[in-house]
Amino acid sequence: MNINELSKQYDFEGKTVVITGGAGVLGGEMACALVGCNANVVILDRDPALADQVVRRFETTKGKYLVVKGDVLSKESLEEAAAEIVRHFGRIDCLINGAGGNNPKATTDPEQSFFDLTTESFRFVSDLNLLGTILPCQVFGKYMVDQKSGIILNVSSMNAFRPLTRIPAYSAAKAAVSNFTQWLAVHMAQEYSPNIRVNAVAPGFFLTEQNRFLLTEKESGGLTARGRKIIDHTPMGRFGKPEDLLGAMLWLLSPASEFVTGIVLPVDGGFSAYSGV
């Protein structure tokens, strides 16, 4: 394969990519990269106004974009969004399940033990991360089945490899996302089409607005005790940047990975490989 053929594999012109949580830090970075690679990018969010800050970053390219309101925990909402997307772009080629997150009420700390965590807080985190991945796969994946082709990229976490202290609900939910990714990859290939691929990326420790002051001190910007532990166990010695996910994302969405399905790819600076000694 020559260099021109290789570069064409990362040209997404005519491909429609739906990103749930596309207005967030990581989803927004993915959206910008894909518009730059000429894709038709759909930012799906419960609050479409949040996408304004992402859209402002789009450069003039062949890529197009659409902002659509959608709730990943409502199948009806997702079906309405899917119909709007198909009316606008004609098809759905790729789905990135970027929506997810934790909740302080499902996190242990000196004032809140594991035994104090409520059923509601566990259910909220589990639903947001697991059902918030499954339902979009059902709705948008059905279009891929009808087309006999498509790519689903889920977002798992380091917590799926090694459960982390203090966040039991999030760790369990992301482990379930990894398991579901493998299950769905086999199901789609065997039951519908080998041209429907399902994979996941598992980010390591990325600084986001959600965890910034858990890992760094608000006043000084220095590392918290938890942040220091993470850096000490990350061979590359730093937190991830949103753009660190882009290479893995583009590869898994492109024809360059057309024989890859059912994997959960760590993007973690070596965290999952390091035993601590």
Active site residues: 170
What is the token pair recorded at 90? 């004609």
In degrees, rounded to 5, the angle at the alpha carbon of residue 104 between the alpha carbons of residues 103 and 108 is 120
Which of helix, strand or coil describes residue 69?
Answer: strand
CB 249 within 8 A of CB 201: yes
Please list the alpha-helical segments (H only) found in 40-115: 52-55, 75-89
Torsion-angle region of 58 (φ positive above 0: left; ψ -120 to 50: alpha; else: beta): beta
Instruction: Provide the angle, in degrees to the nearest 10, between the axes of the packed helices 168-191 and 132-147.
Output: 10
**Residue 276 burial (CB count, 10 A):** 5
At 238, the amino acid letter reads R
Give the 3-state secondary structure percentages of the chain, helix then strand then coil, rounded to 5: 50, 15, 35
CB 13 within 8 A of CB 254: no
**CA proximity to 242, closest of 87, 18, 22:** 22
